[in-house]
Structure 1
Amino acid sequence: MNKIWGFFEENPMAAVIAAGEIGFWVVIVAGLAARYLLKLKRTSVVLLLLTPVIDLVVLVATVIDLRNGAEPNFVHGLAAVYLGFSVVFGHSMIKWADVRFAHRFAGGPPPPPKPRGPARLRAEWRDWGKCVLACGITAGVLLLLTLMVGDTGQADQLRGWLPRLGVVTAIWFATGPLWQLLSPKDDDRVSEGARR
């Protein structure tokens, strides 16, 4: 436990990111509890609208930390990644949690099953497109932070994240749309099973 606290003391931005991620889920759970358990729809909307505020807090904290002379490091780049992916995937994560919370606590319909066949391929392409968009936003934030830092040597830690974004995009493509394209089709599996 002391090692964890020591790490956060040495890297206050890591604590901000961790608090942002925890805060994101706390706000979502509180918003859904207000909606379905307490029947407070307005309160629920206000709480769920706080999720972008958390992203803004992480961004502002990163800028302030760098402006105060902190040397750019891995954690500042991670803050940009958190921001990019939270902006793009935040709404769908809230929707995912909403369906499950409504089913569990408010008698809502069960979550839909994973799509199959062409619908699954479309979903994989859509998710990969969202990954590309998230990486694009992250790259934009990283470039802005790099311009703010100015010193080319110090900015290398931030620029070092750009190739990593390419790797994430390539892996997502390979394990998503490409995997689905090359996998046996659902109809083929059914016909194989029927032959046996």
Structure 2
Amino acid sequence: MIKWIIAAEITFWIVIIAGLFARYIMKWKKTSILLLLLTPLIDLALIALTVVDLKNGAIATTAHGISVIYIGVSIAYGKTMIAWADEKFQTWILKRPSTKQTLFGIEKGKHELKMWLRHLVSFAIGSVMFWAIISFVGTESTEAIRGIWKTWSIVLLIDGAISLSYILFPKKAIS
């Protein structure tokens, strides 16, 4: 299962890079949009492989749980990841100056809370998928998935506390 997760991740980034290459180097805007729209299909293929693997009798492993997390993260952070890749492509490949600004104070806190909300959305999507898979496949072979979900729940709470700390203790600009 881990090989499918790695293959999905590699394919995801190849498609994004190909989309950015098509947009900026080849000037094929429609092709770039099509390529970037393929990323959700990669996610669907991965979740389908996970479900088929488990339905065919595989005992759930950490890799199965990670594949579900991958889907939730990809859906919730997909636009953000593509925007990050776009900015890096322009800076590294096209040698354009970075437009990204370092955030401080309440703006940094708002950004961190916004990113935590994305994490929460990711967790909600992943949770629905975790429990749907457990219901569909059965509970005998899915203990690892439950364990991954519990661990992710703790990570979400820790991330929330850290994100909130940026509001309570704002980061000051270095002069």
TM-score (norm 1): 0.82
RMSD across aligned positions (CA): 1.8
User: 1:156: which partner in 2?
Assistant: 143
Query: Deviations 1:27-65 (Å, cap 9, x if unpaired)?
Result: 111110111111111111111111111101101111111
Does 1:169 pair with 2:156? yes
- If asked which structure has higher relative contact order (CA below 8 Å, sep 6+), I would say 2
Query: Deviations 1:68-112 (Å, cap 9, x if unpaired)?
Result: 121222111111111111111111000111122223444655232
Q: 1:37 aligns with which of 21, 25, 33?
A: 25
How many residue pairs match? The answer is 175
TM-score (norm 2): 0.91
Q: Alignment partner of 2:131: what SS?
A: helix
Does 1:123 pair with 2:111? yes
Q: Alignment partner of 2:140: what SS?
A: helix
Q: Alignment partner of 2:142: what SS?
A: helix
Could you tell me how far 1:115 is from its partner in structure 2? 1.7
Q: 1:68 aligns with which of 56, 61, 64?
A: 56
Structure 2 CA distance for partners of 1:87 and 1:173, relative to 1, 3 Å: same
* More helix as a share of residues: 1
Which one-letter code corresponds to 1:186 in the other structure?
K
Correspondences of 1:1-196 after superposition (within 5 Å): 13-106=1-94, 108-150=96-138, 152-178=139-165, 180-183=166-169, 185-186=171-172
Query: Deviations 1:115-144 (Å, cap 9, x if unpaired)?
Result: 222111110110011111111111111101
Which one-letter code corresponds to 2:60 in the other structure?
P
Tell me which stretches of 4 or more aligned residues in structure 1 moved more than 2 Å: 102-109, 174-177, 181-187
CA contact (8 A) 1:34 1:41 kept: yes
CA distance in structure 2 between the partners assigned to 1:21 and 1:34 by the alignment: 20
CA distance in structure 2 between the partners assigned to 1:184 and 1:64 by the alignment: 47
The unaligned stretches of length 5 or more in structure 2 are none
The unaligned stretches of length 5 or more in structure 1 are 1-12, 191-196
User: 1:5: which partner in 2?
Assistant: none
CA distance in structure 2 between the partners assigned to 1:82 and 1:98 by the alignment: 21
